[in-house]
Amino acid sequence: MQQEEIELNSPPVFEIGQKVRVKKLIKNDGTFPGREIGEVLARIGDVGYVASIGTFLQAYYIYAVHFLDTGYIIGCRKRELESAEEISYESNATGK
């Protein structure tokens, strides 16, 4: 069995307040109260904001992401997220 990297050896990839996008379907694994196990909580492309950062099993960062459309705050792993913040290449090129 291949061992995953210990994320806590590096700083978090995302910051509190950062806009992020879901890269994979997220279903309730039984840890989201008030929803059935297996119920879809976030779909690919849904956008939210990192509300807090915790850890799991002394190895992984868990990003609590607040999805404004549903009001859900869902714990996500790094592999489930990507940055959704747009970089303005034009303003960087002109120094503005």
Contact 7, 59 (CB under 8 A): yes
Kindly indicate the confidence band of residue 85, based on its pLDDT and cuts at 50, 70 and 90: confident
Arithmetic mean of pLDDT, 33-44? 93
Among candidates 85, 86, 84, which has minimal Cα distance to 21?
84
Compute the distance between CA of residue 81 and CA of residue 28 in angstroms, rounded to an integer: 16
Arithmetic mean of pLDDT, 54-67? 93
Mean pLDDT of the chain, nearest integer: 86
Among candidates 48, 54, 59, which has minimal Cα distance to 82?
48
Compute the distance between CA of residue 48 and CA of residue 89 in angstroms, rounded to an integer: 23
Kindly indicate the confidence band of residue 91, based on its pLDDT and cuts at 50, 70 and 90: very low
Compute the distance between CA of residue 85 and CA of residue 32 in angstroms, rounded to an integer: 27
Residue 71 C-beta-side C-alpha neighbours within 13 Å: 0
In CATH terms, 7-83 corresponds, of 1.10.357, 3.40.1350, 2.30.30, 1.20.120, to: 2.30.30
Q: What is the pLDDT of residues 5-37, one digit of tens each?
A: 788 888 999 999 999 999 999 999 988 999 999
